[in-house]
A and B are shown apart, each in its own frame.
Chain A
């Protein structure tokens, strides 16, 4: 089984982001980067499938700056067999990213292409769908279970108050959600072995941007809290404020 895992380098979710001087991007100074957490579910699932089958190859593919080699090496340390970095030093829009990925994916002949359900930085949840459309492959997002059955794959996803099971032929594109599995840590031996695994760097094909970020801003600072009093005596005042000032009841 040949599996491609598309992953994205994103600012660590614990990083306190600052807006850059251009007002449209985040200031990269002092930002720690990680593999987007949903992508970790995709990688883990690919490794589980490979382990269960006792054979196969897992390749991680990212569109990003040269520095994304750290995230690719981490994925190799966790257990992927090879990596591809589609180099793009500037931020791309979802369609540009999808086209860059398709440029690499189209000739690979993967049986399965896994993504995270969305990246945790831009949260667009567009790229996997755009790749699926470009490659005319079936796509299911937000999967929480996966079972390979010959030339088909059966996946489960949570719906509002229920569970949905979907089957589609391989090759397919799947977006992985929390709950699918429990991602492992890279081991030291894995990290050392990653040194010797192949990482290929390729240029992204230039595609016109269709979206432009005009402005980025931080959420407004939370106003200070107010204590209206203590005990049952304060309740009427609280209700009054909720009704008249906050207008929430």
Chain B
């Protein structure tokens, strides 16, 4: 396959530092050389490319924006570029890194005890252990505040009961960040693999994010030490603050998928001949490409500005909702349009667009569905919550 050419219509590269470009270049090469050659096969087989986890750790891509504990302490823009390049490879790969970084390392870093940080963060950063984040339940998806999973204090322990569903990395995780109600308040707990009463089941049969492990978590009188509570997280704000981190990364990641689809569609349009000329000479095909380029450029500007707000410490969750909602929506539209442009080739694994298109269906749903983000924005604009 021809090498990827990124789209930079508005010369956003001129706004990047040398260091940010180096980070992007490094991840781009890693994805080209170590992810893309095997990813279609993993997608078809429904397996996560676990062989690359140690490299993710060696390169410093896990928890890259956190300070200390073997983490690189990158700025938000460089972190975003990492997510973009990973998702250019595959949304499943980006999901793995998002979960490890934004949903596991971040809450431990922000809400955990010194002992928890020392114990888990360096290992999570190296990729020698894997984490997962359990919020969603079979009966509580968009409305996690109603969750059933609960914790009861008993001597030196908490006893957990309940089930989580759709949990990325669940079966392969060494440590789960589990959200459960303790005395009616949502709290976070660290549950380690092998703890009696804790089990997982692989959720099979997905047609999306197939190169990512999705699992159910089961807690049946699962006794964990009291020291395993995330002491500083109290209420729904705890998990939501993690989601803000991960959604930030998704806003960038979606651009990566969209750029991969655009690049593929553009090259295809210039090389595929019908009616005696490249299909890229027809106005309808050009309209598709123009729309893709416009929306990618807008998405890049949103993500760029969001990174500045994040580093300034003024970024709001609603601003993140806008970018996640917009960029994922358009990435999916672009993937569909690219799929269409490729004709029959678009439904095969010869080209990456079908895989991106299927993946983005999950990305549109997880971390707050498109419509839930619409309601968050509606709430922000009118002051009236319309969730229930």
- List residues of chain A with CB under 8 Å of any chain B CB: 13-14, 34, 69-70, 73-74, 77, 185-189, 191-192, 194-195
Q: How far is the CA of A74 from the CA of B23 in the complex (A)?
A: 9
Which listed residue (B18, B60, B73, B74) contacts A73, Cβ 8 A? B18
Q: Judging by beta carbons under 8 Å apart, are B29 and A185 in contact?
A: yes
- Interface residues in B, total, Cβ within 8 A: 21
For residue B25, CB closer than 8 A to chain A, the reply is yes
User: Which residues of chain B in 3-22 are interfacial with respect to chain A, using CB atoms and an 8 Å cutoff?
Assistant: 3-5, 18-19, 21-22
Nearest A residue to B4, CB-CB: A14
Residues of B within 8 A of A (CB): 2-5, 18-19, 21-23, 25-26, 29-30, 58-61, 64, 72-74
Q: State whether A186 touches B73 (Cβ < 8 A).
A: no
Complex interface: chain B residues within 8 A of A191 (CB) = 19, 22-23, 26, 72
- Among residues of B, the one whose C-beta sits closest to the C-beta of A183 is B29
**How far, in angstroms, from A30 to B69 measured CA to CA in the complex?**
39
User: What is the distance, in angstroms, from A31's C-beta to the closest C-beta of chain B?
Assistant: 12
If A70-B21, A74-B22, A77-B22 touch, whether A188 touches B3 (CB-CB below 8 Å) is no
Query: Would A187 and B59 be within 8 Å (CB), given that A14-B5, A195-B19 are in contact?
Result: yes
Q: Complex Cα distance A216/B73, Å?
A: 45
B34 to chain A minimum Cβ distance, whole angstroms, is 9
Count how many pairs of residues, one from A and one from B, have CB atoms less than 8 Å apart in the complex: 49
Query: Are A188 and B60 within 8 A (Cβ)?
Result: yes
Q: Which of A14, A73, A187 has the most CB of B within 10 A?
A: A187
Contact B26 A186 (CB under 8 A): yes
A sample of 19 more A-B contacts (CB under 8 A), given A14-B3, A191-B22, is A13-B3, A14-B2, A14-B5, A70-B22, A73-B22, A77-B22, A186-B22, A186-B26, A187-B26, A187-B58, A188-B59, A188-B60, A188-B61, A188-B72, A189-B72, A191-B23, A192-B19, A194-B19, A195-B19
Interface secondary structure of A, over-half rule? helix
The minimal Cβ–Cβ distance linking A70 to chain B, given in whole angstroms, is 5
Q: Which residues of B contact A194 (CB under 8 A)?
A: 19, 22
Name which residue of chain A comes closest to B78, CB basis: A188
11 A–B contact pairs at CB < 8 A? A14-B2, A14-B4, A70-B22, A187-B58, A187-B59, A188-B23, A188-B61, A191-B22, A191-B26, A191-B72, A192-B72
Chain B: minimal CB distance from A207 (Å): 29
Provide the bound-state CA to CA distance between A246 and B345, in Å.
Answer: 33
Q: Which residue from A73, A187, A189 sits with its C-beta under 8 Å from B19?
A: A73
Tell me, in angstroms, the Cα distance from A187 to B62 when the chains sit together: 11
Q: Which of B3, B4, B26 contacts A185 (CB 8 A)?
A: B26
Quote the shortest CB–CB distance from A198 to chain B (angstroms).
16
Listed residue (A69, A185, A186, A194) with the most chain B CB atoms within 10 angstroms of its CB:
A185
A185→B74 CA distance, assembly (Å): 17
Cβ-defined contact, B18 with A69, below 8 A: yes
Contact between chains at A187 and B22 (CB < 8 Å): no
Q: Which of B4, B18, B74 contacts A70 (CB 8 A)?
A: B18
| In the complex, chain B residues whose CB is within 8 Å of the CB of A69 | 18
A185 and B30 contact, CB distance less than 8 A: yes
Question: Which residues on the A side are within 8 Å of B2 (C-beta)?
Answer: 14
Expressed in whole angstroms, the Cα–Cα distance for A195 and B73 within the complex equals: 13
Q: Which residues of the other chain, B, contact A73 by a CB distance below 8 angstroms?
A: 18-19, 22
Report the minimum CB–CB distance from B140 to chain A (whole Å): 36
Question: In the complex, A34→B28 CA distance in Å?
Answer: 13
Find chain B residues with CB under 8 A from A185 CB. Answer: 26, 29-30, 59
Q: Which of A73, A185, A188 has the most CB of B within 10 A?
A: A188
Closest to B29 in A: A185
Q: A195: which B residues are within 8 A, CB to CB?
A: 19
Q: Which residues of A contact B23 (CB under 8 A)?
A: 188, 191
